[in-house]
A and B are shown apart, each in its own frame.
Chain A
Amino acid sequence: MNTFNTNSSQGPDEVVLRKAFRLSAPSPELKARAMKAAHEAWRATPAPRQGVARWWYPILELAAAGIILLVGSQINGFLISSDSSPGDLAGRGGSVQGAIEDLDISGRVHFRGGVGYAGSISVETLKARQGLLDNLLRDEATEAVDGTDRQNSLNGSSCLLKGLA
């Protein structure tokens, strides 16, 4: 006889199911056997490198930030030499060409460091902060670019700086 109340709207009672059966339990030796195999697999596999790498991430980030700051400060050091004259800039030779990449017509000075660090600063900011633009755009600097006029110098971007250097 089926003892389930099959006519009830509640249907088979989970209490009955719970009381009628239990799930088969794992055999007592399963833990020992499975854990032995798992520990062997653990030993046979190299230690996770991910965890170690994660440890180094902050250090790498700090190092990268340090490099960026260093490069940035060098560029800035070059830019903030407010007393720089074209002659001073020329004296720095390669630094000028390496650090300042472009001076575009919209009035931004683009620069680039040696590790891919790049950026730009508006002429206004530059001017307000250091007055360097005045130096850059001095008549003698413009004249140094093979007699081209001021606008052409700006369009020709690095020509100006090349001329300075």
Chain B
Amino acid sequence: MPMPDNAIETEIRKRVAADDPAALDLIWDQYGGRLHGFLVALLRSSHDAEDVLQDVLIKIASQRTRLLEVENLHAYFYSMARNEALTLIKRRERRHQPIHPDDLWLVPVAESPLSNDSAQEVRKTLEILPEEQRTVLVLKIYQDMTFLAISDSLGISLNTAASRYRYAMEKLRGLLKKEAL
């Protein structure tokens, strides 16, 4: 069972202060999966998410003194991940690089209540949601995060997190309705 964030953050800081690279393992164990999911939602690409996550870890290691200064480590990690992801998105746009169609970020489950067609529609709809709304929706639904945890990690207010989720769901409903007509 993962340790509470506060306890783990204290431990990470201790290790960094002692220049112990085991801090990286703690960071990976506590945040690796979460950050990967977050990046997948942002980038809509599993491959890109992996590359960015690796870059984030490298940055954390080479700028580790910052970990002794920042107040909220997990918000700092999410913020780093987001910045790296946005840089990649801009690069993609500049180079007109499409996401590879086989690079599924949202994988249909075998016992899905949705038909293949519907699943595809839903995924497409999720993909055209604004990034910030999609991110909150994914963190809430697929990472089981509470609005409080989401707001804390993304550095936004609780109300903003809840409204982004609501907007995302409304948009999803509206677009799906249009599809059904």
Contact = CB atoms under 8 A, between A and B. Distances in A.
Given A26-B36, A26-B50, A48-B16, A2 B62 contact: no
Interface string A28-70: 0011011101110111110111110010000000000000000
Contacts of B118: 1-4
Contacts of A16: 113-114
A17 interface: yes
A20 to B, nearest CB: 4
Nearest to B57: A38
Interface stretch (B73-81, B83-91, B168-176): B168-176
Contacts of B109: 19-22
Contacts of B33: 26
B170 A11 contact: yes
Given A11-B169, A39-B24, A2 B121 contact: yes
A93 interface: no
Given A23-B142, A38-B24, A48-B16, A31 B32 contact: yes
Interface stretch (B3-11, B100-108, B146-154): B100-108
Nearest to B181: A6
A42 B24 CA distance: 9
Contacts of B60: 38
Contacts of A41: 57-59, 61-62
B122 to A, nearest CB: 7
A30 B107 contact: no
A14 B141 contact: yes
Interface of A: 1-4, 6-7, 11-12, 14, 16-27, 30-31, 33-35, 37-39, 41-45, 47-51, 54
For the complex of A and B, 7 pairs with smallest distance between CB atoms: A51-B17, A11-B173, A24-B46, A38-B57, A41-B61, A48-B65, A42-B61
